[in-house]
Amino acid sequence: MSQTPRYRQRPEGSNWGDFGPDDQLGTLNHLDRAARLAAAAEIREGLSFSLSLPLTVPRAPVLNPRRKGPVIRPAEKNGVPVYRYPLANDVPGATDVISDDSVTLSPQYSTQWDALGHVGSLYDARGNGTPQPTGYNGYTVSAPGREGFAGTRDLSIAPMARHGIQGRGVMVDLRAHFGDEQRKITHADLMRVMQADGVTVRPGDVLCLHTGLADLALTLADNEQHRLKTRCCVLDGGDPGLLAWITDSRIAAIAADNHAVELRNHHLDTERGALLPLHEHCLFKLGLPLGELWHLTPLAHWLRRNHRHAFFLTAAPMHLPGLVGAPVNPIATV
């Protein structure tokens, strides 16, 4: 437990300290025992849907050039590839044949969760007039491993993985209303869609946004993957009403099938501010995890055909401490 406070002031609109001075779960605290029990009532048919893309999709690194697709190699033993490797090489007479893999990947290349350490802000948490890189609940955004980088100590994916993410998922089918053209979704747009489809949101829900982008990533040819940069709906992170609704709804997390939930900006419209205002609001101020590039289309179609919008969701991230984002294979059960 911390002995001294990490901050003397907290950002406007944040919930720092509301879940305790050492909290690293943020709004996942809303996903409690009662929310899980209530979510189980959404299992009526016993059908399951995997909401993960193959981690090789997108098939080209067009959405974020610093993130690369996975490279799979055979593991090695004494410089020899361990793939279809007869153990008789080591123990004469053994009939076993062994294959082992090694993989290099960017954890946030495909279907993933953002950990709270993924986006912080230059903020004067100490009140001394000097903004410093700061994360949710006043934690310092730092890389402790100078030699042998081991990731972040605080606000990594580990608390999310330990907590487990199981609860009620709620689908908002933006693609059904707006198609595949790129459109910034305001608070008013979101409310109209939810009202038209009878979507209700409860505290502790995981809000899932179907835009169709992950479906396009699966179906576009390799030489057409660049089209993903300018297609499908994104949330308008600059809409104050939308950010206020996210806070007031007390949802546990947001997961979208697009690249960054919001539009990924490359310039500022003001002298100073966030390029990713929704990320700043959710990850930095609220501790609200964001899921990206989830494959929601088959589930969204099933829910629409069956006049439903809610489902039971299991979506724990890969448990590798130190990561600021991790792959996930979410499972929806209806």
Distant-in-sequence, close-in-space partners of 253: CB < 8 Å, separation ≥ 6: 27, 28, 31, 113, 165, 206, 207, 288, 289, 290, 291
Q: State which H helix or E strand residue 310 sits in.
A: strand 310-314
Residues of the chain with pLDDT under 70: 1-4, 141-149
How far apart, in whole angstroms, are the C-alpha atoms of residue 310 and residue 167?
10
Q: What domains appear along the chain, each with residue ranges and CATH number?
A: 26-63+107-333 (3.50.30.50)
What pLDDT does residue 189 have? Answer: 98
What pLDDT does residue 118 have? Answer: 97
Q: What are phi and psi of 208, to 5 degrees?
A: -110, 125
DSSP letters spanning 25-54: -GGGGGS-HHHHHHHGGG-SS--EEE-B--
pLDDT single digits (tens) 122-153: 999 999 999 999 999 999 866 655 556 678 99
CA distances (Å), origin 190, targets 142, 150, 240, 317: 36, 40, 13, 27
What pLDDT does residue 27 have? Answer: 98
What pLDDT does residue 270 have? Answer: 84
Q: Which two tokens stand for residue 274?
A: 């966030």
Q: Quick check: helix, strand or coil at residue 225?
A: helix
